[in-house]
Structure 1
Amino acid sequence: MSENRNSVRTRALKGARIVYGNGSMTRDCTVRNLSAGGAKLIMQSTADIPDFFDLLFDDGARHRCVVRWRKLGDLGVEFAENPR
């Protein structure tokens, strides 16, 4: 399988929150792997998650995200601060 990432992802198990709708809507998720340029998020369902949102980590870090791929309970996101 070809690897298209600009940086290597490492395994992670971090709590985070997807924030969208001008901050009025949130969804809890878990970060399963992480790199300088993006992350894999897992949650119950990806239904209703928009293609652009903020990801707020439990430690206070925040990233603007663009969805690059999605499955039923997984999202692959790229941090907008590091566009392809």
Structure 2
Amino acid sequence: MQAESPSIPAMPPTPSSPHAEKRRAPRVRRLLQARCVFNGGSSTLDVTLRNISPLGARIAGDALICLPPTFELRILDGFGGYSARRARLVWSRGATAGIEFID
């Protein structure tokens, strides 16, 4: 007979994550190469995907100020392919931005 392990209570958001309580879905940390595509495909901006959830993501990169309000985020798979999601820029601070998926 196997002993049941005690249940572990959920931890509340820590002060180091002030935006955690505003999110509708938990995010998973990732460090993936991605590309923001806009202007009908004629403009691109390489970024790093820092974390992701089914509803949005946090990206980092240079020149995020150039991003339009909506764009396509292409997450590279390392084999020459990618998965694409339509995204909306929610916030931007320096070299980091939060986006919401709109597809």
Normalising by structure 1, report the TM-score: 0.90
Higher Rg of the two aligned structures: 2
AA matched with 2:31? L
How far apart are residue 51 of structure 1 and its match?
1.0
How far apart are residue 79 of structure 1 and its match?
0.3
Question: Superposition pairs for residues 56-71 of structure 1, below 5 Å?
Answer: 56-59=74-77, 60-71=82-93
> Which protein is richer in strand relative to its size?
1
Q: Is the CA contact (8 Å cut-off) linking 1:45 and 1:74 kept in structure 2?
A: no
Task: Considering Cα pairs closer than 8 Å and 6+ residues apart, tell me whether 1 or 2 has the greater RCO.
Answer: 1
How far apart are residue 6 of structure 1 and its match?
1.2
Superposed CA RMSD in Å reads 1.1
> Which protein is richer in helix relative to its size?
2
Partner residue in 1 for 2:6: none
Question: Superposition pairs for residues 23-62 of structure 1, below 5 Å?
Answer: 23-59=41-77, 60-62=82-84
Unaligned runs of at least 5 residues, structure 2:
1-17
AA matched with 1:51? P
Q: Secondary structure at the match of 2:65?
A: coil
How far apart are residue 48 of structure 1 and its match?
1.4
Unaligned runs of at least 5 residues, structure 1:
none
| Residue correspondences, number | 81
For 1:19 and 1:79, the matched residues in 2 are separated by 14
How far apart are residue 25 of structure 1 and its match?
0.3
| Structure 1 residue 8 corresponds to structure 2 residue 23 | no
